């Protein structure tokens, strides 16, 4: 079974053959997690483990202490520490209440391909749900396949709510803001169909290269 993280779905769309080739030749690199990845872990701990903000900032300092002490890394550390404080304050100011997040996603859209990864954070306000992925910088996120799919998956598999009761989007660290929208049922059906076609191409390329 081929597993594709939701986060990598756009890479598969851009070049299924290249992605398949990388899967076939993939080896474990032991690469260290980046500062942004570590920031996301601590941001979730603020909600899931209910740690105070001051403890979260300390955890970031501890995680970043193993990085080389140079100007670039010091600036990055300051950026992420400030971003954690700003995120926490904006979350509270919006009146959000943390609801859910970080479940392992398993959605078999194709007989040979499983869509996986982790579900985004979910907050609730006035009986409406807001799901969001963290990003360092704002980008044209609504054009990506993963967000309509995540809206569908969350509404049917974890939150059990109507599509219109859930907004999906991002939180941009650089811009200090949330951005949300709700995809229609028609849009989701179209994206799901396109994803299945992409996974079919990925499956063909993977099987072809595995047989070599």
Burial of residue 111, with CB atoms counted within 10 A of its CB: 0-12 exposed, 13-18 middle, 19 or more buried: exposed
pTM score, two decimals? 0.91
DSSP 50: -
Quote the mean pLDDT of the chain. 92
Residue 29 has pLDDT above 60, yes or no: no
pLDDT for res 45: 92
Specify the pLDDT at position 49.
87
Cα–Cα distance between 168 and 28 in angstroms, integer? 32
Which pLDDT belongs to residue 102?
Answer: 79
| Domains of the chain, earliest start first | 2-210 (3.90.320)
Q: Give the least confident one: 76-80, 101-105, 156-160, 197-201.
A: 101-105
């Amino acid at each position: 079974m081929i597993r594709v993280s939701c986060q990598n779905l756009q890479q598969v769309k851009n070049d299924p053959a290249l992605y398949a080739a990388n899967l076939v030749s993939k080896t474990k690199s032991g690469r260290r997690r980046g500062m942004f990845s570590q920031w996301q872990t601590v941001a979730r701990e603020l909600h899931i483990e209910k740690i105070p903000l001051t403890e979260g900032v300390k955890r970031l300092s501890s995680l970043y202490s193993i990085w080389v002490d140079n100007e670039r890394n010091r600036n990055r550390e300051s950026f992420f520490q400030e971003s954690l404080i700003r995120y926490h304050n904006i979350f509270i100011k919006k009146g959000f209440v943390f609801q859910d997040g970080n479940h392992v996603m398993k959605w078999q859209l194709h007989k040979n391909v499983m869509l996986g990864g982790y579900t985004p954070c979910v907050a609730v306000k006035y009986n409406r749900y807001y799901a969001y992925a963290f990003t360092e910088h704002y980008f044209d996120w609504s054009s990506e396949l993963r967000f309509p799919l995540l809206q569908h998956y969350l509404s049917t598999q974890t939150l059990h709510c109507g599509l219109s009761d859930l907004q999906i989007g991002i939180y941009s660290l650089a811009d200090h803001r949330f951005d949300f929208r709700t995809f229609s049922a028609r849009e989701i059906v179209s994206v799901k169909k396109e994803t299945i076609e992409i996974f079919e191409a990925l499956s063909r390329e993977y099987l072809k290269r595995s047989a070599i």
